[in-house]
A and B are shown apart, each in its own frame.
Chain A
Amino acid sequence: MKNFRLSPMIYLLVVLIILAACVPAAPANKDLILATTTSTQDSGLLDELVPAFQEETGYLIKTVAVGTGEALEMGKQGNADVLLVHAPASEKELMAEGSGAERLLVMHNDFIIVGSPDDPAGIKGSPTAVEAFQKIAEAQAPFISRGDDSGTHKMELAIWKKAGVTPEGDWYQESGQGMGATLKIASEKNAYTLTDRATYLANKDTLALDILVEGDKGLLNVYHVIVVNPDKHPKVNIEGARAFAAFLTSKAGQAMIGEFGKEKFGQPLFFPDADKTDADLGLE
Chain B
Amino acid sequence: MELIWEGILEAIRLLLSGDPEVWQITFLSIGISGIATLLSVVIGLPLGTWLALGKLKGRGCFLSVINTGMALPPVVVGLWVSIFLWRSGPLGDLHLIYTPAAIVIAQLIIAAPLMIGLTVTSLQQLNPNLQLQLLGLGASRRQLILALWREARLPLLAALMAAFGSVISEVGASMMVGGNIRGQTRVLTTAIVLETGKGQFATAIALGFILMLLAYLVNLFFTTVQQRGASQKVS
> Across the two chains, which residue of chain B brings its CB closest to A204?
B199
Interface residues in B91-150 by Cβ distance below 8 A to A read: 92, 95, 97-100, 146, 150
Q: Is A78 an interface residue (CB 8 A)?
A: yes
Report if A31-B88 is in contact (Cβ < 8 Å); known contacts: A3-B225, A62-B179, A180-B198: no
* Contact status A77-B35, CB under 8 Å: no
Report if A23-B196 is in contact (Cβ < 8 Å); known contacts: A64-B98, A64-B179, A78-B88: no
Report if A77-B98 is in contact (Cβ < 8 Å); known contacts: A62-B181, A202-B199, A206-B201: no
* Contact status B100-A79, CB under 8 Å: no
Q: List the A side residues contacting B28 at CB < 8 Å.
A: 21
Q: Is B30 an interface residue (CB 8 A)?
A: yes
Q: Report B146-165 CB contacts with A as 1/0, cut-off 8 Å.
A: 10001001000100000000
Q: List the B side residues contacting A14 at CB < 8 Å.
A: 34-35, 38
Once bound together, how far apart are the Cα atoms of A78 and B65, in whole Å? 35
* Contact status B99-A23, CB under 8 Å: yes
Q: Which single member of B31, B225, B228 contacts A20 (CB below 8 Å)?
A: B31
Q: Is A18 an interface residue (CB 8 A)?
A: yes
Q: List the A side residues contacting B92 at CB < 8 Å.
A: 235
Q: Which single member of B32, B86, B181 contacts A79 (CB below 8 Å)?
A: B86
Once bound together, how far apart are the Cα atoms of A18 and B99, in whole Å? 13
Q: List the A side residues contacting B68 at CB < 8 Å.
A: none
* Number of residues from B at the complex interface, CB < 8 A: 37
Q: Which single member of A1, A13, A38, A235 contacts B197 (CB below 8 Å)?
A: A38
Report if A181-B196 is in contact (Cβ < 8 Å); known contacts: A17-B30, A64-B179: yes
Once bound together, how far apart are the Cα atoms of A188 and B100, in whole Å? 37
* Contact status B31-A23, CB under 8 Å: no
Once bound together, how far apart are the Cα atoms of A6 and B221, in whole Å? 12
* Contact status A42-B198, CB under 8 Å: yes
Q: List the B side residues contacting A23 at CB < 8 Å.
A: 99-100, 183-184
CB distance from A12 to the nearest CB of B (A): 12
Q: Is A33 an interface residue (CB 8 A)?
A: yes
* Contact status B87-A42, CB under 8 Å: no
* Contact status A47-B197, CB under 8 Å: no
Q: Report B171-215 CB contacts with A as 1/0, cut-off 8 Å.
A: 000000001111110000000001011110100000000000000
Q: List the B side residues contacting A62 at CB < 8 Å.
A: 98, 179, 181, 184
* Contact status B27-A17, CB under 8 Å: yes
Q: List the B side residues contacting A258 at CB < 8 Å.
A: none
User: Which of A2, A64, A203 has the largest count of B CB atoms less than 10 A from its CB?
Assistant: A64
Q: Is B17 an interface residue (CB 8 A)?
A: no
Q: Is B235 an interface residue (CB 8 A)?
A: no
> Across the two chains, which residue of chain A brings its CB closest to B226?
A3
Q: Report A200-234 CB contacts with B as 1/0, cut-off 8 Å.
A: 00110011000000000000000000000000010
* Contact status A17-B98, CB under 8 Å: no
Q: Which single member of B98, B180, B182 contacts A33 (CB below 8 Å)?
A: B98
Once bound together, how far apart are the Cα atoms of A33 and B95, in whole Å? 11
* Contact status A2-B88, CB under 8 Å: no
Q: Report A170-188 CB contacts with B as 1/0, cut-off 8 Å.
A: 0000000111110110000
User: Which of A21, A42, A63, A233 has the largest count of B CB atoms less than 10 A from its CB?
Assistant: A21
Q: Is A28 an interface residue (CB 8 A)?
A: yes
Q: Is A65 an interface residue (CB 8 A)?
A: yes
Q: Is B73 an interface residue (CB 8 A)?
A: no
Cross-chain pairs A/B with CB under 8 angstroms, 8 sampled:
A13-B34, A20-B31, A21-B27, A28-B95, A62-B181, A64-B181, A233-B87, A235-B87
* Given A17-B31, A203-B198, 16 extra CB contacts under 8 A: A2-B229, A3-B229, A21-B27, A21-B32, A23-B99, A28-B95, A42-B194, A64-B180, A77-B88, A79-B87, A79-B97, A177-B197, A179-B197, A181-B196, A181-B197, A235-B92
- Nearest 6 A-B pairs (CB), nearest first? A21-B31, A203-B199, A17-B31, A64-B179, A180-B197, A178-B197
